[in-house]
Amino acid sequence: MSYSFGEGAPYNSAGGDPRGPVVSMRGISKSFGHVQALRNVDLDLYPGEVVALVGDNGAGKSTLVKILAGVHPQDAGTVTFEGRQVSIPSPAASRELGIATVFQDLALCDNLDVVANLFLGREVGGAVLDEETMERRSWELLRQLSARIPSVRMRAATLSGGQRQTVAIARSLIGDPRVVILDEPTAALGIAQTAEVLNLIELLRERGHCVVLISHNMADVQAVADRVIVLRLGRVNGRFRAPAMSYEDIIASITGVLNLEEGTPEDDIGERGSL
């Protein structure tokens, strides 16, 4: 088992990564009863980039990432991972592929310390846990993230919001995933804690991970995203690239003032900064 970051060439925002996308989703649709949550969504994810998924509540953001996370199966469409078509029937299958998801609730155990949270369900040792090895690996992982946590023996309940988010992200990196999905990572954080998390996202990009960022905070999105995908009523309604994307155009796509023409494939976005 690896506890270090994967290395990868930075994403070339001018023309995409020459090795092709890590993940390609084509024609993804999903319904819950009579509610059509996703309609024919296409998405490509490349190594070494931050892709922001934005949209109003009910736009389909969470449903799309839950398909990648193995929580929901799609009703139609295909998912390709590293060039091969795959099925993701469960969260365990998603992790095995190399997709790590940090949901908004973080799923930390407040009564456990940092080490126990990092290795929960992946403990080292048999009948007797190897606490020394787990503590050493915890420090190694947190140092790679430049984490500001004074002790790995602190209980999760005593950590700040930014520190809790760091621990949740660090736990997701055990196993060296190719794709890291972050669901509203800066929600309810202060200015300093938000800056800490955004710096962490940039570090993940520099290390070659593809980061999928779900956020309602447009300032955070514009600060770190290489691309922005707008979902509206279950459809892709906008595709933007940094640095040309503007706050006004993104909001216009979210609200439906601007509409992406149907049938525009992911590969055609090229250098378009806005619609």
User: What's the CATH number where 226 sits?
Assistant: 3.40.50.300
* 59 in a structural domain: yes
- Look up residue 42 and give its DSSP letter: E
Whether 62 is in a domain gets the answer: yes
Q: Identify the domain containing residue 245 by its residue range.
A: 23-107+178-268
User: Are the beta carbons of 119 and 141 closer than 8 angstroms?
Assistant: no
Does residue 79 sit within a domain? Answer: yes
Q: Structurally, how many domains does the chain consist of?
A: 1
pTM of the shown model? 0.82
Note whether residue 170 is domain-resident.
no
State how far the Cα of 245 lies from the Cα of 243, in Å rounded to an integer.
Answer: 6
pLDDT number for residue 19: 61
Phi, psi (degrees; rounded to nearest 5) at 136 = -60, -45
**DSSP category for residue 40:** E
Q: Is residue 2 part of a domain?
A: no
Task: Decide if 38 is inside a domain.
Answer: yes
Decide if 37 is inside a domain.
yes
pLDDT in single tens digits along all 275 residues of the chain: 333 333 333 333 334 445 689 999 999 999 999 999 999 999 999 999 999 999 999 999 999 999 999 999 999 999 999 999 999 999 999 999 999 999 888 789 999 999 999 998 888 887 888 899 999 999 998 988 888 899 999 999 999 888 888 899 898 888 889 999 999 888 878 888 888 889 999 999 999 999 999 999 999 999 999 999 999 999 999 999 988 888 899 999 999 998 875 434 344 444 334 43
Answer yes or no: is 153 within a domain.
Answer: no
Using CB atoms within 10 A of its CB, is residue 71 exposed (0-12), middle (13-18) or buried (19+)? middle
CB 217 within 8 A of CB 40: no
